[in-house]
Structure formats: structure tokens, C-alpha cells
Amino acid sequence: MVFYLTVILQLVFITVAAQENQVIREGEVSYISGKNIYVKFKSTEGIENGDSLFIKQNELLVPALVVQNHSSISCVCIPLNDFQFQVSDTIFVPIKQPKTATLSETQKEELPEKDVSEQLLTSAENEKNKSISQQDISGRISLSSYSNFSGPESDNLHRFRYTLSVKAANVRNSKMSLESYISFTHKLNQWDVVRENLNNALKLYNFALKYDFNETTSLWAGRKINPNIANVGAIDGFQFEKHWSNFFGGVVVGTRPDYMDYDYNFHLPEFGAYAGHSIKNQNGYLQSTLAFFEQRNHSKTDRRFIYFQHSNSVIKNLNVFSSFELDLCKLENGQPKNAITLISLYFSARYSFTRRLSLFGSYDNRKNVVYYETFRNYSEEILQQASRQGLRFRINYRPVNKLILGMSAGTRIRKDESRATKTFNGVATYTSVPWINASLTASANLMQTAYLDGQIFGGRFSKDIIPGKLSSTMQYRHVDFSYFNSSSAIQQNISEVDFTCYINKKWYFSVNFESTFQEKYNQNRMYLNLRRKL
């Protein structure tokens, strides 16, 4: 009943189509495989390999992905700054507007050419300067199924997932706005699990109402992740924010989602405040946020900490992101005691020497990320765990227009591990194979962890069957894992085929089939997705 009432409430707000932006082209994440993020557009005209794709944070577009190769409607990317993505996430890319006939040729020549950062900031500023009563509504509804065929009928698994995402800004030209992302998931013939606890199936990842008092003051109520304090996670409650010129600040009062089923849990209160500063120049932006939070379990202090995050692109061709968390107390014999402890530190930097050459480096000692939903296979999960934390470097080089070369390496040493974790990855992509007009990629991943030595070699072939309408990707990977201080080993051959169809401007359909072959055990997985823009 909660699910249906929520759906009905949101559908009331869906009264107009989303407005198109002529400066920023919009796409969405269509598939995630290992470290590769697939982004679909209506057209990739104007997008080149090595370009950055962006996400929106606090009304600014932040570089989050780098294009490795592309077809006419799809881009294969790798993430920057360790951003995390989900299928259907909105991605942006700046496309220059066509020249208008209202300016003379002399006037056009006098206009300075804007670089990517300036285009983004101009676009963001234009959106910020719009009347706060201008309605802008977009959304999508998705139906998907995930089937795992691993042998006997009793071992097969069929999971169904329905999602509804809505962003309704200034509904009916009012000061009220709505954001939501709702998921309902269940397994075939397991409705008893849903009946036992509805929250085993229903997940409200984002559901909040916003009221704009004026152009600089707003109040959110409901469940929402605040981009200025993203590491705090989803907050159930009230978030008040105020802007003064280049400064901003806010206070938060609410609770944390339940760690078992992500339901509302009023026994986990939290409160805090944050302040920040944001500026921009012709190269990019600079934004810093400092926050203080206290989290409790019932009436007892569970955690008290300071959080800091910083984004910087004001130096030309350089993007920097950093964050850290300091715990201000710890529990001893069940009682809180004042103590300062660094528990989380992350730093990353990306520098583009030229359009053809870029270098990325990062240091990460954050705790493991918890995924409430993931479709990774075993080898992808092992690779992600081995490569996320520690010190890491990556270099991308494009010697000629159609060839992209990439190489990355990382290392991590922990006191509780018997040996260091080391990873190496190499990838080469040719984006336009002669005569067949397709993209071909070869990759190699080598890893050493505390408990295994692993190798993953693979190749991927992508082609537009019907440009702008139907595309396909075929992929093969060979996995060889040998466990340290053990005679156990795993060898897998993984084949994968993907078809993506844009039926029209609103309807999208994809099918992905993956087979894993290993000694005495084979597994087949199929993922279907039907999506419609509202």
C-alpha cells in the first residue's frame, strides 16, 4: 500500500515534459560492467574519445567520467574521483550551440571561444538565475528482470525490479519541488519475503520535498543525500540551506536509514551543520565544505565527527578532489570519550597535458563501500575490491585520433594483511575498425591480493547495427585465479552479448546475456530492461 500511494503521489506532479537544454546534452547510464560505465545518448555527435562527461552537484556540473570509446549513441567510460553510479543516472556533456544568424560574421569572429569549464559554469549560472517559479519536470519509469540459470531448476533465480524516478522543480510554477528515486524488487515465488517485511522489496533511496523561500534560501523535507555532505549518506528529516554571495551554510536534523532494510529508523537520530565556499573563474570552479555531525543510537552517542570535502578546477587542465573524516570521540566500556581519529582520507587529481595525454592519481583509505544492489559477477567484484583502496595512478594516451591507450597501477598495504595488494591494468581501443565501422578493445588485468593472484584478459567488440536505433556489444574475458597458500584455483571463460534499442525518443529497451564456463560448473545470466521517459 505504501508503494502504490507513493507512486500515485508522484504521478500527480508529472504534468509536462522535460525542457531540453541546447547547451548541455543529457544522457544516462545504461549498463555497468566492472570499471566500465556505459552511457547512452540520442546522438554522440560532438563527443570525442578522451572527453569528460559530467554529473550535477549543487547546481554545478562536475567532471565524473572520461570517454574511452564511443559509437553513434553510446560511450564507454571510466569514472573519475571514484564516483559511484547506478543504471539510469543522468549524465551531461557540453555541446557548443550552433552559430546564430543574428550576429554578423565580424561580430562572431570577435567573440572569444569558450573552453569546456566556462561553458559548464555559464550553463549552471543561467539555470541558477532562472526564476524560482519556473516549472521543470522530468522522470523515468523502468521495468527490469535479472535471471540466473546455474543448473537444476531449484537453483535458478529470477529477480524483478521496478523503479520510478522523478525530478519536479517548481511544480505548477510554485516554490515547491520534488525529487525521488524508488525501487521495488522481488524474486519469483518468494512473495512471503515481501509479506514478512515490505522493506525487503521497497527501497526509497530518495524521496523529498523542497520549498524555496527565495532564490538563496531553501528547505528540504524527507529522504535526500546532500551533495555538499555526500559522505554522510541519506538523511531522513529536514535540511535547511542558505547562500550568501560565494558562501553557503546549512543545518540538518533527522535520522539515518536502518542499516538492515533501509527503512526509516527513528532510533538512529542525527544532527549537524555545514558551511562552504564556492567560486569560479574562466578555467573552472572551486568549492569547499566543512561539516560537523553527531549520530546517536537511541539517546547514546554513536558517532561524532567532522567531514571536509574540496573540489577544485580553477587551474587550467587540472581537476582535484579531496575529502577526510575525523572522529571526535570513541567508545570505551560503552561510554563516549573525547579523541581525535582520522578514519577516512581520499585525494585525487587529474591533469590533462594535452587533449591526447592525461594523468590521474589517487589515494584512498576510506572504508569499504556498501552496495544495496549490484549486478557484478565474481571476478568483477574481486577486481573492484582489489583496486579501489590504496595508492593508484592511471595514464591515458591517444597517439592517433582513433586509437586510445590506457594503463593504471595501484598498491595497498594493510597491517592485517599478510602481503600487499597490487593491481595493473592495460587497455587499448580502436574506435573505428576499417570496413566494418566498429569499435574494438583489448584489456588485461593483473592483481595480487592478500589471498590470491589473478589474471583477467578480455576483448570487446561494439557496433551500431542501425545508427541511432540499435547497437550491439560482444565481449569475452578469461579469468585465472590461484589462491595464495592453497592449491585451489578458479579458471573461467566469460562471454557476453548486449543489444540496445532506442524505440523512439521516450522508449528504450536492452537485453544482456552473459555465460560463465568453468570446470564442473556453468552459469548463465540474462538482464532485460525496458525504460520510458515520462
What is the pLDDT, as a whole number, of residue 123? 36
Between 63-72, 94-103, 259-268, 491-500, the lowest mean confidence (pLDDT) is in: 94-103
Asked whether the predicted pLDDT for residue 127 surpasses 50, the reply is no
Instruction: State how far the Cα of 37 lies from the Cα of 67, in Å rounded to an integer.
Output: 9
Cell digits of residue 439: 569499435
Do residues 422 and 438 touch, judged by C-beta distance below 8 A? no
Per-residue pLDDT, 49:
65
Greater confidence, 330 or 263?
Answer: 263
| Residue 229 CB partners (closer than 8 Å, separation 6+) | 252, 272, 274, 289, 291, 293, 307, 309
Q: How confident is the model over 128-151, as pLDDT tens digits?
A: 444 456 788 888 899 999 998 876
Residue position matching grid coordinates 544482456: 512
pLDDT over threshold 60, residue 121? no
**What average pLDDT score do residues 262-284 get?**
90
230 phi, psi to nearest 5 deg: -60, -35
Give the least confident one: 72-86, 492-506, 508-522. Answer: 72-86
Tens of pLDDT along 226-255?
888 877 888 999 999 999 989 999 999 999
pLDDT over 50 (residue 97)? no
Of the spans 23-37, 86-100, 261-275, which averages the highest pLDDT? 261-275
Nearest Cα neighbor of 82 from 454, 394, 422, 406 is 394
Q: What percent of the chain has pLDDT over 70?
A: 80
What pLDDT does residue 33 have? 66
- Report the C-alpha gap between 337 and 344 in whole angstroms: 19
The amino acid present at 448, given as its one-letter code, is Q
Q: How far apart are CA 388 and CA 63, in angstroms?
A: 19
The enclosing H or E element of 162 equals strand 157-169
Nearest to 310 by CA among 318, 320, 300: 320
For residue 444, pLDDT over 60 is answered with: yes
pLDDT at 120 over 60: no
Confidence check: pLDDT of 528 > 90: yes
Q: Which residue ranges make up each domain of the chain? A: 213-352
Neighbours of 403 (CB within 10 A): 15
* 228, 276 contact by CB (below 8 A): yes
The set of cell numbers assigned to 148 is 540466473
Give Dmax (Cα) for the chain. Answer: 77
Terminus-to-terminus CA distance in the chain, angstroms?
Answer: 23
Q: Is 158 exposed, middle or buried (0-12, 13-18, 19+ CB in 10 A)?
A: middle
Interacting residues of 35 by C-beta distance below 8 A, sequence separation 6+: 78, 79, 383, 384, 387, 425
pLDDT of residue 271: 96
More confident position, 13 or 380: 380
The larger pLDDT score, comparing residue 44 to residue 444, is at: 444
CB distance 24 to 41 below 8 Å: no
Q: Global pTM? A: 0.69
pLDDT at 106 over 50: no
- What burial class does residue 283 get, using C-beta atoms within 10 Å of its C-beta: 0-12 exposed, 13-18 middle, 19+ buried? middle
d(C-alpha 316, C-alpha 413), whole Å: 34
Handedness of CA 149, 386, 262, 226 (dihedral sign): negative
CB 439 within 8 A of CB 432: yes
For 348-395, the pLDDT digits (tens) are 898 989 888 999 998 888 765 555 555 566 666 666 666 667 898 999
CA dist., res. 257 & res. 206, Å (int): 11
Task: Give burial (CB, 10 Å; 0-12/13-18/19+) of 275.
Answer: middle
Report the alpha-carbon distance of residue 92 to residue 126 in Å, rounded. 16
191 by Cβ neighbours in 10 Å (0-12 / 13-18 / 19+) ranks as exposed
Position 16 confidence tier, pLDDT thresholds 50, 70, 90: very low
Residue 159: CB atoms within 10 A of its CB come to 17
How many Å apart are CA 88 and CA 144, to the nearest integer?
A: 12
**Which of 296, 258, 230 shows the shortest CA–CA distance to 372?**
258
- Sequence length of the chain is 534
Q: Identify which has the larger pLDDT, 446 or 355.
A: 446
SS3 132: coil
